[in-house]
Structure 1
Amino acid sequence: MDYDLIVIGSGPGGYVAAIRASQLGLKTAIIEKESLGGICLNWGCIPTKALLKSAQVFEYITHAADYGVNINGTGEVNFEAMIKRSRGVADGMSKGVQFLMKKNKIDVIVGFGKLKSKGVVEVKSNDGSTKDITAKHIILATGGRSRELPNLKQDNKKVIGYRQAMILPQQPKSMVVVGSGAIGIEFAYFYNSIGTKVTVVEYLDNIVPLEDEEVSKGLNRILKKQGINIMTSANVESVDTSGNLCKVNVKTATGVEVLEAEVVLSAVGISTNIEGIGLEENGVKTDKGKVLVDDFYRTNVEGVYAIGDIVKGQALAHVASAEGIICVEKIAGQNPEPLNYNNIPGCTYCSPEVASVGYTEKAAKEAGYEIKVGKFPFSASGKASAAGAKDGFVKVIFDAKYGEFLGAHMLGYNVTEMIAEVVTARKLEATGHEIIKSVHPHPTMSEAVMEAAAAAYGEVIHI
C-alpha cells in the first residue's frame, strides 16, 4: 500500500482528519480537486464572516454619533473592496492549510478522487490524466454544494447560490433571499446593511426555523426593524428572469405576490457531493443522499469511511472536524467516544448573532421533560448597554427533576463566542445550580448565562 490512509476532500472534515492521522503515526495523503480547506475556508464560513465584518464596520461608522464620535461626511460602501478583502482572508486561510499539510508531512494530491476497488483510489488530474494510489483505509469527505430546487434553477447570474453571492461584480440594488437558515439570514443581513433592498422568503412559519421559537420571533422583529422585508409561510413557485429584473412568484396564505429584484439568492440548504465517487460500483450503501455509517463513520464496506456533510448529523464545519478526529482515532486503535449530536452548537452570524445548543423548549417538552426555563434580556446587561447592543436575550432550559442542562438559546451581540460555555457545561453534566454558583466576570455579556440560570430557579438579581 502507498499509504495507511487516503482522505478524499480537504474541507474541515478532511484536512483535520488527515492531520490527526499524521499525529497518530499514519502515513497519510489527501486528495483535493480545487483549493485546500474546501468550501468552508474558501467559499463558506470564513469569507462570509469577512463580509459580515465589513458590514459591521460600516454600521459602526453610520452610527458613530451614538458613541460620541463625529465623522466628517458619511461612510461609503466600496463593494469591490469588501469582496476583495473577503477573498484575501479566504486565500490566507487556504495557504494556512497548505502549511499544515507540509508541517504534518501529508502528501497533497491535486485531482478528483474516486473509489476504484478495495484499497484503491483513482485520481483524475485537471489535465485529464489518471493514476491509482492505494491505502488500507479511505475516508470520504467530499462535502456539499448549494441545493437547487426544480422551480429555482441557478443560472449563476440572476439566480445564484452562496458561492456567487460572495463574488458579485457589483452590489445589487435589490435581492430576494429564498430560505432563512444561517446562510440565507447572514447574506440578507450583509446586503441589507450595505444598502441593498432585501426580501427574505421562508417556506416555514418562522425564520431560522431550527432555533427556539422565541429566538426566531425575536430575530424576525429585529431584522424587520433593520429594514429587511420578511415573508414566512411563503413558497416561491417560479422565477421569471427574462426581463431586467427577476419576477419572483411567491404563494402565501392570501394568494400569489410578485416580487421584483435584480438578484435571487437560493439558500435552501445543501446537496451532498456523492455522485461519481465510486459508491455504487463498490457497494457502499447510501440513503436519501447520505452515506450510511456507524458511530465511528465506518461504511458497510471494509476500509471505507465517510464524514462531514455526506453523513448523518448537522452539516456544519465543526461537526465534520469532530467526526474526522473520531474516525481516525478509531482507525488508529484508540477508543474515542461517539459524537453526541444533541450537544452540537449552531451559530448564525447576522447582527445580532444567534447561538444555540441542545433542546429547544418545545423539543424538551415533547421529549417528556418537566422543565425550568430562565431568560435574561441583554437590556439588563451593563456590558451590552456600554457596547450599544441591548437587543436580544439568553434563554436556558433545565430538567426540573435533576437540574440537567437541557439547552440554551441566545440572541445578541457576540453570543457565538458565549455558547461554548454551555456546550462544555452540558458535556460535564453541570446542573443549573452549578452554573449559578460559577462566578462570572462583571461586566461581561457572558454573565447573562449565569443570570438566566438564576432566573430559572427564582434567584436572578438584575431583573
Structure 2
Amino acid sequence: MKYDVLILGCGPAGYYFAKNYAKCKKKVAIIEKARLGGVGFRTGCLPVKKYLDKIRDVNISKKLIKNEICEVKLAMKKLYTSVRDDLFEIEEMIQKNLRALKVDIYFGNGEFLSQNEFRINDIILKFDKCVLATGTSPRGFGDITIDEDIILSHIGAVNMEDLPEDICIIGANVEGIEFASLFSSLGVKVTVIDMDKEILKGNDEDLKELTVNYLRENNVDFILGNKVKNIELKDNRARISFGDRNIYASKALVTGIRRPNIPKGLKEIGVRIEADCIPVNDFFKTNVENIYAIGDINGILGMAHIGINQGIELSEYFINNTKPKKNYKALPRAIYTIYEIAGAGYQENELKNEEYKVEKIHFKDTFRGFSKGLHEGFLKILTDRNNKIIGLWISSENASDLVGDVGIWIDRGFKIDDIKSKLFIHPTLGEAILDAVLKF
C-alpha cells in the first residue's frame, strides 16, 4: 500500500494534520499504537476537563440544595465512573471523522524498514512523507516505576475502576494541581508534595488565590519544599519517602515527568534523536529529508494546542508551500482547575524590572456577572508605557472560554484605544475586557 503521507500518532497534532491535509484528496494513513486521541484527547487533557465540567455542575447543585431550591443525593463515585465510561465516545468520534475524510487507520506497533517504508502488523506501507506525531509518555523518576495500579500516571488516574479513599500527588505543577482539584472535589483525601516552595510556580499570586483557597477548603494538604526520594509498594499501598519522613496513600500519582515516544527503527534510518525530543527545523523537518515531527515529540513547548497548531501549519506547508509561522510570542494558555487561570502574554511576575500598567475588573461588578450571581473571579489587563496590551489574564470559572483571540491582539500590537472601539455583545462576561480598558 502506497501513501502520500503516513502519520504516526493520532493525538491532537496527528489528528489535526490529517483532518486538514486529507481535504486535498491525497492518500493518507494514520497509525495509532494505543487509543485514538492520545494524551490530549483521550488520556489526559480533555478527560480531566470533562470530569471538572461535571464537578462544576455538581457544585451548582450543591448551591441549590443549600438554598433549599431542590433536594438531590450526590453520588460522586458514580460521577467518576460515568465520565470514565463516556471517554470511549471520543475515540468513536475521531474514528468517524477520519473515515469520513477517507483516511486509512491502522492500529498496533510497527517499525521503520527504510525512510520510505513502515511495517505494521505484517503489512508494509510505503510513503512519500512521514509525519511523526507520537508525543510523549509519562515516566517515573529514579527507581520509581509507574504500574498504573498503585503508582499512577495521568493514564491510570482517569481510568481507575473506582475512587480511592486518598491519593498523594507528586508535583504542585499544572498537571498535579488540576488532578488535585478533580480528586478533592470528588471527596478523595489529597496530599500534594513538591520540591518547590510554591504552588503553580511562575503564576501571579492573585491569579492563584481562588484555586489555592478552593483546594484548602477541600482539605488538600500541601507539603512544599520537599523532594520525593522514593515511592514503593507496602501492604498494597504506596509509601512515599521524602526528607526524613514517610507517608502512606492508597494511590500515588506522579506528574510532570515525560519521555518521547520513539518509533522502532527511527534511529536506524538516520533520524537524529536527542534525550528528550526529535529536533526539527523551521518547517518541522528532521535531519532526514522526508521525515517531519510535530507536537510534543519535537520538544517545542509541549501543549495540546501547540500540537494542533503545528499539525495545521505543516499541512498548509505541504498543500500550499506556505512557511509555518511558529508564532508563540503571545501563547494563550490555561490551567484547568475549578477556578481556571487563563490568558495570554505577560504576567506581572515576569515584568518586575519593566514599566507597565495594570487594571483589574471583578466579574461581580459587571452586568453579566450580576445576572449570573457571580461573587468571585476577575480579569486584568497589562499594558506597556505606550498603552500596548502585553498581557490579559483571568481567574474564574470557565476563564479559558473568555480568552478568545487575545493572543492575536498582543501579537499585532493592539492598544487600549483599539479595544475601546471594539464591539462586545451585551450582556456577556466578555464585556469585562471593555470595563477594564475604560479604567486606563
- When normalised by structure 2's length, the TM-score is 0.92
Q: Which residue does 1:266 correspond to in 2?
A: 254
Residue correspondence of structure 1 range 196-207 to structure 2 within 5 A: 196-207=188-199
CA shift digits 1:275-323 (9 cap, x unpaired): x433321221233311111122011110000000111322222211110
Residue correspondence of structure 1 range 391-430 to structure 2 within 5 A: 391-401=376-386, 403-430=387-414
Q: Which residue does 1:178 correspond to in 2?
A: 170
**Are the counterparts in 2 of residues 148 and 266 from structure 1 also a CA contact under 8 Å?**
yes
CA shift digits 1:212-262 (9 cap, x unpaired): 3432355323322333222333322223431354332334xxxx4443321
Task: Return the letter of the residue paired with 1:436.
Answer: K
1:323 to 310, 323, 346: 310
Q: Which residue does 1:24 correspond to in 2?
A: 24
Residue correspondence of structure 1 range 219-230 to structure 2 within 5 A: 219-230=211-222
Aligned counterparts of 2:318 and 2:85: Cα–Cα separation in 1:
36
Task: Return the letter of the residue paired with 1:102.
Answer: R
Task: Return the letter of the residue paired with 2:376.
Answer: D
Structure 1 residue 191: deviation in Å?
A: 1.3
Does residue 291 of structure 1 match 2:278? yes
Q: Which residue does 1:120 correspond to in 2?
A: 117
Q: Which residue does 1:195 correspond to in 2?
A: 187
Does residue 70 of structure 1 match 2:74? no
1:281 to 268, 276, 284: 268
CA shift digits 1:402-421 (9 cap, x unpaired): x3322222210111101123
Task: Return the letter of the residue paired with 2:416.
Answer: G
Task: Return the letter of the residue paired with 1:70.
Answer: I
Aligned counterparts of 2:340 and 2:166: Cα–Cα separation in 1:
23
Aligned counterparts of 1:233 and 1:339: Cα–Cα separation in 2:
36
Q: Which residue does 1:108 correspond to in 2?
A: 105
Change over 3 Å in CA distance of 1:57–1:11 after alignment to 2: same
**Are the counterparts in 2 of residues 58 and 75 from structure 1 also a CA contact under 8 Å?**
no
Aligned counterparts of 1:151 and 1:328: Cα–Cα separation in 2:
41
Runs of 5+ consecutive residues of structure 2 not aligned to the other structure: none
Aligned counterparts of 1:386 and 1:31: Cα–Cα separation in 2:
49
Deviates more, 1:295-304 or 1:242-251: 242-251
Aligned to 1:63, the other structure's residue is in SS state helix
- When normalised by structure 1's length, the TM-score is 0.88
Structure 1 residue 379: deviation in Å?
A: 4.0
Give percent identity, aligned residues only.
Answer: 25
Aligned counterparts of 1:286 and 1:216: Cα–Cα separation in 2:
37
Change over 3 Å in CA distance of 1:86–1:386 after alignment to 2: farther
Aligned to 1:286, the other structure's residue is in SS state coil
Q: Which residue does 1:450 correspond to in 2?
A: 434
Task: Return the letter of the residue paired with 1:297.
Answer: F
**Are the counterparts in 2 of residues 206 and 216 from structure 1 also a CA contact under 8 Å?**
no
Q: Which residue does 1:350 correspond to in 2?
A: 337
Deviates more, 1:310-319 or 1:431-440: 431-440
Aligned counterparts of 1:78 and 1:225: Cα–Cα separation in 2:
17
Q: How many residues align?
A: 440
Change over 3 Å in CA distance of 1:26–1:148 after alignment to 2: same
Aligned counterparts of 1:91 and 1:418: Cα–Cα separation in 2:
28
Q: Which residue does 2:416 correspond to in 1?
A: 432
CA shift digits 1:320-362 (9 cap, x unpaired): 1110111122123431441212232222222111112222223
Structure 1 residue 382: deviation in Å?
A: 4.1
Root-mean-square deviation (CA, aligned residues, Å) is: 2.4
Change over 3 Å in CA distance of 1:86–1:46 after alignment to 2: farther
Aligned counterparts of 2:416 and 2:218: Cα–Cα separation in 1:
35
Structure 1 residue 181: deviation in Å?
A: 2.8
Aligned counterparts of 1:444 and 1:259: Cα–Cα separation in 2:
47
Task: Return the letter of the residue paired with 1:192.
Answer: S
